[in-house]
Amino acid sequence: MGATPAAAEWSTDAVDQDHAFDYWRDLICDAFVQLSARPVLPGPFAGSITHRALDEVELSTVTADAQRVDRTRSLIARSHEDYVLASIQLEGFGEIRQDGRVAGLRAGSMAFYDSTRPYTLVFGDHFRQLVIQVPRSAVPAARVRDATAVAVEGVGPGRLVTDFFVGLAREAAVGRPAPGLAPHAVGLFEYALGLAGASDEPGEAAVRQAVLDAIARAAGEPGVSAEDIAATCHISRRTLFRVLSADGRSLRELLRHERVRRAKGVLRAEPRLPVAAVAVRCGFAGEAQLHRAFREVTGLSPGEFRAGG
């Protein structure tokens, strides 16, 4: 998102109707990633976006008339924006198309798309949705490919996830950012990716999800090994390394990412807890290891992050 402010509201009401869609096209590029868009119905067009940033998570409520939006190969080549996005449909209907799949969105459902590959969004009439955007580096790469353009319905576990994000966006929009809840947002985003991926490719995707879940559970213990993870998942070391290769990160990198993610949540939720205690709680061998890993992943020290850096 680059220079996108932490809190902003935009609307086509700011311009005359003759320039409304051109203005809208610029708005969605500023709020999300570089996109091509066109209206699909004749007549006047109206749209608005309410945007809030909470740590790594961007929340944007989009209300607009019918349109088609494309993320093309040429735009990807020019912009290099690496994000995973999810749309939760609040009103109306829509479609997300990516990786040869099509997810139909109705009120309450959710679907993911990846800015590093082409995608299309289609809305045949007026709609409202919540768009969640996180850096692609914040979630396991293996989960993303399996989850794109697969609808997660707003029932059962899916309903718990969508209710959380809709509530979080509502609180942030009225000036109550709920700092105790924001650190859990990325974890729930990953969980929902797992729901979508498991519904698409139950075989290989299930193995990858089991490995990633095992790593997440084991990250709190220092010294966890590849043998430990393989045994937990009832797979061979060879299968484990194949899964890790597909994810694009080593076991060490995945453990470091998970431990830093946990540390970020603890640092914000318990501001008086000593950093050394945070390190022990989150699976680091000591405070020095936490400092080194935290700076490698976030570019900040734990103290700087805790202070709101």
Question: CB of 276 within 8 A of CB of 190?
Answer: no
Ranges of each domain in the chain: 7-176, 204-306
The string of DSSP codes covering 42-103 is: SS---EEEEEEEETTEEEEEEEE-SEEEEE-HHHHHHH---EEEEEEEEES-EEEEETTEEE
- Whose CA is closest to 179, among 300, 294, 270? 270
| More confidently predicted of 207 and 226 | 226
| More confidently predicted of 131 and 262 | 131
Residue 121's SS3 state is strand
Domain 7-176 classification at class level: mainly beta
pLDDT at residue 27, as a whole number: 96
pLDDT band at residue 204 under the 50/70/90 scheme: low
The pLDDT > 70 percentage for the chain reads 93
The kind and range of the H/E element at 219 are none
Q: Whole-model pTM? A: 0.65
Count Cβ atoms below 10 Å from residue 136 Cβ, excluding itself: 15
Structure tokens at 120: 């299309």
pLDDT at residue 243, as a whole number: 80
pLDDT at residue 1, as a whole number: 40
pLDDT band at residue 179 under the 50/70/90 scheme: low
pLDDT at residue 156, as a whole number: 82
177 pLDDT above the threshold of 70: no
Give pLDDT tens digits for 252-288. Answer: 888 998 899 889 989 988 888 999 999 999 999 899 9
pLDDT at residue 84, as a whole number: 96
94 pLDDT above the threshold of 60: yes
We find that the CATH architecture of domain 204-306 is: Orthogonal Bundle (1.10)
pLDDT band at residue 5 under the 50/70/90 scheme: low
What is the rounded average pLDDT of the residues 142-171?
A: 89
200 pLDDT above the threshold of 50: no
Q: What are phi and psi of 239, to 5 degrees?
A: -65, -40
Structure tokens at 77: 């080549």
81 pLDDT above the threshold of 80: yes
pLDDT band at residue 222 under the 50/70/90 scheme: confident
